[in-house]
Structures are given as C-alpha cells and as structure tokens.
Structure 1
Amino acid sequence: METVTLPFAWEKSSMGDAYTRLRNIYVHWSEGHSLRAAADLADGKSPSTVLNWSQAAVHFQDQKRNHGNHIKEATWNHAYEPVVSMAVSLLNGRKPPGNPADLMDACIRDWAPGSRMRQIRAQSLAQFLSHCVQREKFPEIWLPPADLKRHVGRRDATVTRAQKGDPFASDQQILDLLAQLPTDSAAQRWIDALKLLAELGLRPIELLYLSVRIDDAIGDPYWWCSYQKRSGGGDTAERRVFPLVLDGGEGSPPDWQLLERWQAGDIVLPPLRSGNGAGDSFGTYLNRQQAWIQLRAACEQGGRRIVPYSFRHTYSLRGHRRGIDPGAMAHSMGHSLEVHLRSYPWASASNTAAAFARASEAAVR
C-alpha cells in the first residue's frame, strides 16, 4: 500500500486546496500512474521523472538481447523495435493513451485484423508492458491485456488460403521462368538462389543458414540447414535437407549440380535481409522482372496466386506426387507433421487416398 502526505495544514481553511489536490491526484492515478507519481504530477513535478518509458525501452532491449532466451539483433529490429518505439512516442506525447488496451489498439491498427504482423506487434508490445511492470516497477494498471486475440482480431472471411500463396501448376513453369530471367552476373546470383529454393524447398531466410556437411560413415556430402526459430506451431530445429530434382516435363530433369557448385564456391547468394526481409528481398527482385509479372498474371487467371514461397510450396507438392510420406516431407522442410498437414492439404488428402487404396487391395487379396 502506498501513502502520500499532502502539504496542507490540518485545518478548515485548507480544505478547499486539499480537495482540489485530491481531485487532481485522482485524475493522474486513473491514467495509470502510481499514487506517489500522481501526487508528484499534481504538485507540478515533471512527468518524465515519474514513468520513464524511454529508459524502460532501453532496459527492455538489453533484457531481450542479452538475457534469458536472448534474441538476435535482426529479430529485435524486425519484431520489437518498431512497435516499442511507436509506443514510447505515443506515451511521451501530448495526449498519451491512458491504459494498455488503448495503447495496444493505437500501435497495431495499421495492420489488417488477424494478420501475422499485427499478431507479432501485439505480442511484442505485451512483453514490453510486462517488463515495465515487473522490472521497472510501473503501476500494475499497465499490465498488458490478458486476451490479445481481442486486439489482433481475425482475418476477413473472404481471405482465402490462396492469398498466402499457391504452388506452381508444374515444375515446367519454374524452369521457363528461370530461362527468361536476365543472365548477367548479378542476376545469376538470384537465379542460383531461386534454384536452391525450388530444389531444396527452403524458406528464403534459410539460405543464410545453408551449408554442406560430410557423412562420416560413407563420406558423401549432404545439405544442412542450421536455421532455428520458435513459433506457435513448434520449434524449427537444425536439419538435413533432401533435394528433389525438378520434373523436366517431356525432357530430362535439370541437373543444376547445386551441391557441387556450392562446395566449389561457385554459388554466391544475392543480398538478403534476415527475418521476413529475406522473403521481401525475393519479392522486390521478382516484381521487377517481366517474366515473373507475366507468369503471375497467367497463374491468377487460373486461380493461383504465386509468391516467393511458391517455390517451397511446389517442393512439397512434388514430394507428395512422388509418393514421399508426409512425415519425411515435414522433416526435410523443417516443421512438425501437424503443421505440414495443416499447411498443405494435398499431403493429408493424398495420404488418406493411399491408405484406403492399400486397404482395398488387401481386401481383394
């Protein structure tokens, strides 16, 4: 319990001044300040000495970067810094939000309801507010809302899965696209990067964590991805990645010799930003290419929406068309079987069809 002694004499003539001061203290307290901080504000003292949001943000960054489950600088810059800076700016402004719910809404309203980015900003801001209360001793009124879903919201019912990106209709579309891209040295970096995405089914960010290892037992080289992340769908662990050569249609499958060229140092990746920025880098490059623009328009006419992740989606579809079980595909792609089946409907559909086909054959025999 906090107590504050008011600077008034205990006599009837001071009652009016004391009552006015109490009303002013209550106004500041209802805005989220502690009793002592509210009394200081009512006494005309600077609010910057009461709740120092800027200093709390500096301490929060240090906590996230150097303690506990510490995060990388790129993660801080992408997922935390923008929303924390925006919150501090609002809280230090002329008309600051008076409670965490209003602050939350103000900091995430620029993103569509239910979007992943809106969810990330809400979660990051909630962590910052919890830090302020638990570590900086801010008033408990600034604890984040218990239910972030009410702020994040849901996607519009008209938003379909296709808007997240679909696989290419065939591997030949990928081969045709690569053949139509520029051939200068700078463009060759992007072509090699796209080939790696297509043949290995990688996330764009995982190119920065790709390497080649040697099997100690037989001496053969193989692809290894050291990318790790934590998410609601489970952790992504380091893993071996298995290539799936593209189907050449009527011709022979393309032999890009990616592993051999990687070992020889012949593959140089284009400039990629970490985090979701890697996917954005691919999007920026492709959206400048006429071949991509034409292919995207043709796919949209067929009901498909292609995005940089479509190279990864097509890897999954290619594997299932070749009879690889969903568990093995999920392992190579770096997510759980549950996430794999939820993300790629054809995985569970083909698996179900194959199971019933085997059961029917057994019954006939």
Structure 2
Amino acid sequence: MAQKSKKQPWERSLQASAHWRGWGLSEHYGKVRLKLQFPAGTGIASASATLPYPWAENSIQPVQGLLTRIYGPVMEGGVTLKAAISDVLAVSDHKADEVVTPWPGIITAFKDYKLTQGNRIAETTFDSSYGRYLNVALVHLQGRKAAQTGKELTRRVLAHPRVNQKPGIKQGEELKPWIEMPKSRLECCLALKKFLEYAVAEHRQPQTFLIGEKDYLELRGADGKRRKKAVLTDEQVLELIRLLPKTWGNVVKISRVFGVRPWEISFIALATNDAGEPQLRVTKGKTYTTRGGVKEETEPRWLEAVAVDGTTFDLEENWDQLTLPPTVSGKTLGAFLRRLPYWQQLVAEYEARGEWLRPYSFRDTFSVRAHGYAIDDTMIAAALGHSVEVHHRSYRTSEWKGVRSAFAQASSKRN
C-alpha cells in the first residue's frame, strides 16, 4: 500500500489555522479549500469554499486573518459562508465568483481583454505571442503539484518538453525547450509576466504570482544575437520567378521590385500622383502600437521601383492585367517557396554562412539594392513605409560586395 507523502511543517501550520470544531482546510487544485462539517441538529449548515490563496507557506497569515473574521458571522448563522468571505474581502458577488475562477477561465478572459480592450491585437497574434505559452502554463497551474509562484511557473514553462505537432513526417519530433531559444525565451517570459499581472489585478490571484524585475531579468536570460538577414542576387530572384506558378511569380516580382510587405500587395492600386503621372500606391498603412499604448497606422505611400537585372517587369504598366493568388501573406508565400527544392537549397546555403533567408528577404534585398544607388536613407525608409530609426535597426543596408565596390570607386576617383 502506497504511503501518503509526509506533510511539510508549514502545511500543518496552515491547517491549524482552522482550529475550531467542524472547520477544516485542505489543498484543492493548488488552492486552499475550506470545508465546514457539522452534525445534524446543530442548526449550522455544512458548506465549502475555495479561498483566494495558494496552498503555500506564505498563505498562512492571510488565511488566519480571513478565518478569524468570518468565524463569528458564520457560526451565528446570519450569513452564508460565501457571503461572509465576500464581505471580508470587500468584493461584490460577481467579484467573489472571479476570486475562484479556474485558470482556464482567466486565460479566456485575458485573451478577450487583449483582443478587445488592451492592444486590440489580432487573434493570430495572440496565439503566437501568448496562446502557445499559456497552453503550457495551464498544465503547471493545475493539479496537486501546481506552481505556487510566478517565478516557479515561468521556470517550468521554459523547460517544458516540446514536440512538433504539425502534420507531416516530422510530427512528434522532439523540439528544443524555449529556455534554449533566446528569442522564444524572451517572448515566453514577457507573455507570462503580463498574464500573471492581469490575473492578480483582475482575478485576485495571490501576489506571489507577480514576477519582480530581478527575477524577470534572470528568467529571460541574455538577448539572443540578432540573425543576419539574407540578401538575394538578381539571378536567384529570376530563377525563383521562373520556377514558381505565374501568380506566385508575380508576388515575388512585386515584393522584390517595390520592397512591399507581402500582405500589402492586396492593397496596391494604380493612382495619379501629384505630378499628374500614374503610379502604384499602397492604400493601407501598417498598424502599430505607440509606447503610450495607442494604436496608430502609418500613412499610405507611393511605391518606387528598384530593377531586377535591369527590368521592373512592366509591373506598373500592366498592373490591372496581373494575376495574383486569392490570398497573399508572408505565410502563404512562404508555403509555396518551401515547396521548391531550389528555395530549400538557398536556405541551406545562406544558413551555412550565418544568414537567414525568408519571404521577407525580398524586402531586405530591395533595401540593399536601393542603398547601392546612393539614395538617401530617409528616402529609402519612406519608400519602405517605416521610420529611419526602424530602418537602421531592423533592415539590411549593405553587403560586402557593395562595400568593396564603393571603396574601389572612391579610391579610383582619388587616383
């Protein structure tokens, strides 16, 4: 017969808080559960309630204080156990329900808040930036061995074993835990920190779930080195266009010649500029959040062309006749590119020299080629639809071949 695990001294102290006859405390899914049991005929109804405190040593004092204050009203029979707890916590009936909201309910409420009241992010953004981490966190917030602090929870989530769940030959393949992936580790820590702050502030979860600045810096670790982005040659771009179906070949042409974001292709229209000339224009700006938390949108912009091996494919002249896929995004473009053995070969070649090739690389290639024309970086940033600060921080502006050429030209002029 299996022996029950020995109770810790603090557990005995916590249970001793309910020292009156008929009053008892136990652990219930990581929380403190209060149960009242009285013999028939005493005139006092038996009842139970989950208290808003974790089954942890630091709950001893607040639990003692709460029980001391509700004992009299409950034993006098004037109020129910739930009402007495609500009165002491000075919350409404609705808030009292929130006190014992299961963690899945808090995650649902947090998602609704982020989608409709907070930054008003898209559902896909929530799933990638929060959802995948909260799904794992839920595993460690429930059960008899539930995490009791924010720091403990974050450590468990970061080290949680992962496997590839996407259908295909790699399904079930072991993946690195997030703690070994600097970018994901940082994103995970930030997501859990924000979620737990919400849980404490809005659902009266214990303060122990808050992650202090010192612990947060320790958990997130050092920032990973930013990967160098790949820049495609004109020959590589032309080969990709040749190998792709016509509609997706047109997407690559537009992405490379005008440096647009893939999703912006659906919002390009031919219009008349202030010089009275026809010119392509992105009619919808990119939505972003300011440091003050306000959502804003960049201005629509006119598109400028950077030729591929001397050609712009007459995109502007033939815009209304171009055939395009029904839906264009970085994800859909990437799906078609990954089917090409040639793209797979390029990815491997660039990775071997420490560079990152992805659909967005057409945009970085536009940036480098535009800088090769000696165009002012302010103008290039405007053509790409972002600030100069973002341009310098996030985009390739040169490659060694161009650097060598520029210095050689400068040297020849001096001689």
- Residue by residue over 1:182-216, the C-alpha shift from the partner in whole angstroms, topping out at 9 and shown as x without a partner, is 4xxxx222212111211121333444554555436
Output the CA distance in 1 between the equivalents of 2:55 and 2:65.
5
Shift of 1:308: 2.2
After superposition, residues 201-350 of structure 1 pair within 5 angstroms as 201-207=259-265, 210-215=268-273, 218=276, 220-224=278-282, 225-230=284-289, 237-248=298-309, 253-262=310-319, 264=320, 266-269=322-325, 271-272=327-328, 278-297=329-348, 305-344=356-395, 346=397
Shift of 1:152: 2.4
Output the CA distance in 1 between the equivalents of 2:253 and 2:297.
22
**Bigger relative CO (Cα 8 Å, ≥ 6 apart):** 1
For the pair 1:161 / 2:244, whether they are aligned, the reply is no
Shift of 1:120: 2.6
* Alignment counterpart, residue 57 of structure 2, candidates 21, 30, 34: 30
Length-normalised TM-score, structure 2? 0.63
Shift of 1:318: 0.6
Shift of 1:84: 2.1
Shift of 1:171: 1.8
Shift of 1:97: 1.5
Output the CA distance in 2 between the equivalents of 1:178 and 1:340.
27
Output the CA distance in 2 between the equivalents of 1:215 and 1:34.
71
Larger radius of gyration: 2
Shift of 1:223: 1.9
Output the CA distance in 2 between the equivalents of 1:91 and 1:328.
51
Question: How many matched pairs?
Answer: 321
Output the CA distance in 2 between the equivalents of 1:334 and 1:114.
30
Q: Residues 174 and 74 (structure 1 numbering): CA distance in 2 closer, same or farther, change over 3 Å?
A: same
Output the CA distance in 2 between the equivalents of 1:347 and 1:37.
66
Structure 1 unaligned spans of 5+:
273-277
| Higher helix content, 1 or 2 | 1
Is contact 2:240-2:249 (8 Å) kept? no
Q: Residues 230 and 327 (structure 1 numbering): CA distance in 2 closer, same or farther, change over 3 Å?
A: same
Structure 2 unaligned spans of 5+:
1-15, 33-52, 68-81, 83-97, 160-176
Is contact 1:32-1:142 (8 Å) kept? no
Q: Residues 266 and 323 (structure 1 numbering): CA distance in 2 closer, same or farther, change over 3 Å?
A: same
Q: Residues 294 and 53 (structure 1 numbering): CA distance in 2 closer, same or farther, change over 3 Å?
A: closer
| Higher strand content, 1 or 2 | 2
What's the Cα RMSD here?
4.4
Is contact 1:101-1:144 (8 Å) kept? yes
Is contact 1:178-1:191 (8 Å) kept? yes
Shift of 1:128: 1.2
Is contact 1:51-1:138 (8 Å) kept? no
For the pair 1:87 / 2:137, whether they are aligned, the reply is yes
Percent of aligned pairs with the same amino acid = 26
Length-normalised TM-score, structure 1? 0.70
Q: Residues 283 and 106 (structure 1 numbering): CA distance in 2 closer, same or farther, change over 3 Å?
A: farther
Q: Which residue of 1 aligns with 2:240?
A: 177
